[in-house]
Amino acid sequence: MRKTKDEVIQLAEQFAKQYLEKDPSGHDWWHIHRVRQLALEIARRERADNYVCELAALLHDVADEKLNESKQKGLDKVHDWLMITEDDPSVIDQVMYIISNMSYNGGKNAPLATLEGQVVQDADRLDALGAIGIARTFAYSGWKGQLIYNPEIKENEDGHHSFDKTAIQHFEDKLFKLKDLMNTPYARELAESRHQFMEEYIRQFHKEWNGGHATP
Ligand code: ADP
Ligand code: NI
């Protein structure tokens, strides 16, 4: 018998919890929950398909490359699950398209081709910003074994100078770039204030690091 959308959503919740409930790398169940809430709110404003957005939000990190043997294995896991849970092949295609293509990848990827993809990507990126984004950055960094910060410039074998990959470095590398990459107007608006909060945080961080003096 065909499952209702509500039933599929409930099963997707269980599936995501099974893999991510206690994930220590910033992708625990509550990240999924926040992305889902944000995706539903953005979808409502953009008149996107809320079922596709909610399902993709719930499944997006089950396939994460970092938490699976490979990107393909992660995607296969979600695809296999969708094949036994969701009857509509068009929904399966749409969700697989989103979770296969929404990752940051250095900001080099072309914008997602579907409105639902743009909505879920914005929701996931918003959860990397602001107070929650800061918390997740340090959680991830600890999980990876990175330092909080290292102001010393290092020299590579090929003579190039670089900084260590640290939690603080991640703000420049990625987080401060996200606000200009938002797809939808509402996400851009939310991103703006979260961005400002992170700037304030980084200013204060360097001030404390320098014994109370603001950096030039
Ligand atoms: P998602 O797929 O949920 O957007 P990611 O897997 O890219 O998240 O990262 C999880 C969290 O860890 C995010 O908040 C992200 O900003 C942070 N993060 C990712 N890479 C690094 C890194 N090298 N150093 C510190 N934080 C990171
Ligand atoms: Ni995510």
Domain match, 146 and 74 both: no
pLDDT tens readout for residues 187-196: 999 999 999 9
On whether residue 118 sits in a domain, the answer given is: no
Q: Is 60 in the pocket of ligand 1 (CB under 6 A)?
A: no
pLDDT tens readout for residues 37-49: 999 999 999 999 9
Q: Please choose from 34, 166, 170 the residue to mutate so as to test ligand 1's pocket, defined by most ligand atoms within 8 A of CB.
A: 170
- Asked if pLDDT for residue 199 goes beyond 80, the answer is yes
Residue 1, both tokens: 């018998």
Residue 147, both tokens: 């330092």
Q: What are phi and psi of 155, to 5 degrees?
A: -105, 125
Give me ligand 1 centre to Cα 4, in Å.
Answer: 34
Q: In the prediction, which pLDDT does 216 show? A: 62
On whether residue 123 sits in a domain, the answer given is: no
Residue nearest atom 17 in ligand 1 by C-alpha distance? 137
- Asked if pLDDT for residue 164 goes beyond 90, the answer is no
Domain match, 144 and 194 both: yes
CATH number at residue 170: 1.20.58.1910
Domain match, 65 and 99 both: yes
With a threshold of 0.80, does the pTM exceed it?
yes
On whether residue 149 sits in a domain, the answer given is: yes
| Three-state secondary structure call for residue 101 | helix
Q: Is 121 in the pocket of ligand 1 (CB under 6 A)?
A: no
On whether residue 31 sits in a domain, the answer given is: yes
Give me ligand 1 centre to Cα 125, in Å.
Answer: 10
Domain count, the chain: 2
On whether residue 121 sits in a domain, the answer given is: no
Give me ligand 1 centre to Cα 60, in Å.
Answer: 14
- Asked if pLDDT for residue 213 goes beyond 70, the answer is yes
Give me ligand 1 centre to Cα 24, in Å.
Answer: 12
Domain match, 24 and 95 both: yes
Strand partners, 161: 155
Cα separation of 201 and 176, whole Å? 12
- Asked if pLDDT for residue 139 goes beyond 90, the answer is yes
pLDDT tens readout for residues 29-87: 999 999 999 999 999 999 999 999 999 999 999 998 888 899 999 999 999 999 999 99
Q: Is 133 in the pocket of ligand 1 (CB under 6 A)?
A: yes
pLDDT tens readout for residues 166-176: 999 999 999 99
On whether residue 212 sits in a domain, the answer given is: yes
- Asked if pLDDT for residue 207 goes beyond 70, the answer is yes
Which amino acid, residue 215?
T
CATH number at residue 90: 1.10.472.50
Domain match, 168 and 100 both: no
Average pLDDT, stretch 102-124?
93
On whether residue 145 sits in a domain, the answer given is: yes
Domain match, 92 and 178 both: no
Query: Which range of residues forms the domain containing residue 28?
Result: 1-104
On whether residue 114 sits in a domain, the answer given is: no
Helix axis angle, 71-85 to 50-59, nearest 10° = 130
